[in-house]
Amino acid sequence: MEKTKIGIPRAFFYYIYYPAWRTYFESLGCEVITSPPTTKEIIDLGVENALAEACVPVKIFFGHVQKIKDKVDYLFIPRVMSMNGKTSYCPKFLGLPDMIRSAIPNLSRLIDITIDLRKDPLTFHKAAVKVAKDLGHTAWEGLRAFHKAAHIHKDYMALLHKGVFPNNAIQGFFSENAGKTEFAYNDFIENKGSKQTPLRLAVLGYPYTVYDSFVNVNLLEKLKGMEVEVVTMEMMDPQILKKQRNKTVKRIFWTFSEMASRTAYHFFENSKDIDGIVHVTAFGCGPDFIVDKLMEIEAKNKHSRVPFMSLAVDEHTGEVGMMTRIEAFCEMVRRKKEAVI
């Protein structure tokens, strides 16, 4: 019998949950198909189907769905409401399956199971059982697959905390000689005979903009080339971030936004650990007007020792403009650092 093909678009939650999701479906005997890294073609496909007013990550998601929808039996686009029992996600995430279903014609079948840890402490288990049953497996098999996936997820998160970028970590997990490959760490670029002062920048933003090198025009690579060590919010120890929980009166509603702002607050407080903060955001992003403004005010007010820049990207972001801004920022930070030393 041919394997059931499950499609997972390489966008949004991909960067955090792909290893777990793939493990789950593979242990149910399915084949997981994912779209290739974002390209111009994918963005164009997305722009065709998504609303002009939508932010670029939504358009990209639409593009990835277009790209694989005809190659799979089912598309896995769960409605993820809350993964931690407390905070939720941007409303566009919450309405994602509905938007896809309405906007993209001739869709293959959707698995749009709801996951909401706020309403139900057993939501993961129930979802795992339900999907397994619908795919023709037993509840027991579903649970077993879930446990395997949870295990992988833990390992994966540990790798991210250690400083491995998601793309490298995923490659390491699923490549031919998995287990044997060395993970490409984002190691500190040793000052090997270079005359430049090494820098350490926090690059904050949602995983789907920070790690999608097409949409941010290779930001991370470029920084690496400029001998800058990059810290992202996925590398932060959750326990350290938790200490920043009293910085806002009301807890920020959206999981990723909360992580970004807590990371920023952490570095504002521990300015010795970082040379600057770059906030990568998408043009027209809803939650970010709040997050970005909070960071900007904090940077300006009491902690002016940490330089801050916000970089907005969209489908038209040009390589040159981006490069100029990053170079200028790094230059400024470097001069500042050298002056202090």
Task: List interacting residues with other proteins (CB under 8 A).
Answer: 50-51, 53-54, 74, 78-79, 81, 88-92, 94-95, 97-99, 101-103, 107-114, 130-131, 134, 248-250, 252-254, 283-290, 292-294, 297, 300-301
Interface with ligand SF4 includes 58 (CB under 6 A)?
yes
Taking the least distance from each CB to ligand SF4, the nearer of 252 and 277 is 252
User: b/e per residue, 323-332, with b = 16+ CB within 10 A?
Assistant: eeebeebbee
Taking the least distance from each CB to ligand SF4, the nearer of 11 and 169 is 11
Q: Which of 16, 45, 77, 90 binds ligand SF4 (CB under 6 A)?
A: 90
Mapping DSSP to helix (H, G, I), strand (E, B) and coil, where does residue 88 land? strand
Separate counts of helices (H) and strands (E) for the chain: 14, 10
| Token pair for 141 | 């098999």
Neighbours of 269 (CB within 10 A): 16
Mapping DSSP to helix (H, G, I), strand (E, B) and coil, where does residue 111 land? strand
Interface with ligand SF4 includes 292 (CB under 6 A)?
no
Given other proteins, ligand SF4, none, residue 130, with its beta carbon under 5 to 8 Å by kind, binds other proteins
Taking the least distance from each CB to ligand SF4, the nearer of 76 and 208 is 208
Q: From 69-77, 149-157, 217-225, 278-286, give the range in contact with ligand SF4 by CB under 6 A.
A: 278-286
Angle CA 108–71–175, to nearest 5:
125
Q: Dump the DSSP string for 208-226.
A: HHHS-TTTTTTHHHHHHHT
Distance in Å, CB of 14 to other proteins, minimum: 19
Distance in Å, CB of 81 to other proteins, minimum: 7
Taking the least distance from each CB to other proteins, the nearer of 54 and 189 is 54
Distance in Å, CB of 265 to ligand SF4, minimum: 19
Distance in Å, CB of 89 to ligand SF4, minimum: 8
DSSP-derived pairing of the beta strands 276-282 and 199-204: parallel
Taking the least distance from each CB to other proteins, the nearer of 53 and 237 is 53
Distance of alpha carbon 278 from alpha carbon 265, whole angstroms: 13
Residue pair 266/298 in contact by the 8 Å Cβ criterion: no
Nearest C-alpha neighbor of 21 from the set 152, 177, 181, 208: 152
The residues of the shown chain that bind ligand SF4, judged by CB under 6 A, are 55, 57-58, 90, 92, 206, 282, 285-288
